[in-house]
Amino acid sequence: MRLYISLPSSGYMAILQLFSFILFSCQCKRHYVYSDTARYRMVFDMESRIPDNSEVTMAELKLYQRAVHHKRFTVERKNHRAVNNARVSIYWVEVLPNGSNRTSLVDSRLIPIHETGWKSFDVTQAVHYWSKTQKKTPMHLEVWIEGERPGSYAAEMAKSVHFTTQEQTDNTLGKPELILYTLNLEEYG
């Protein structure tokens, strides 16, 4: 048994006209969100940092930001709102046995683009994750730098944020630091 639905010819034409208007006549603007993220990986040997019989109560990642003053960044474009900040996010990277990675966000904030100085991020959660899963391997952190809002101009301005890297000599100012605050469990256990 077949069931047919019959529409009056005027109803059928109305639906057809509606679909053709939506599909062919719609002058919709397409907006593409542009987000270009800079990523930097840092690796810290953790075994020697945490004393035996102690617990990490707080961990802080300190990064030294170097301001870059280019003429192209100081002149604002006429069609864009001013961009003064960039979003900096710190991710803990879990290296899985099959070689792939899993990331977890541990801290994120807006930082001024044109400043020089130390920026501190709370990475306590990353150290706790690491201590529960991968105690025999180094701890991996990733720093992501993005525009403060969607769009190519904000992403371009975020490219002016630079932190010093781990590949520097020991006496270079601003080498990234991982500071651990521990509690001795024998004394305060």
Please give the average pLDDT of every successive group of 10 residues along the chain, which has 189 residues: 52 55 46 65 87 89 81 54 88 90 94 91 94 85 90 83 72 81 81
pLDDT at 31: 44
pLDDT at 32: 44
pTM over 0.85: no
Distance (Å, whole) CA 180 – CA 71? 39
Tokens of 178: 């991982």
Q: Centre a 10 Å sphere on the Cβ of residue 61 and count the other Cβ atoms it contains.
A: 22
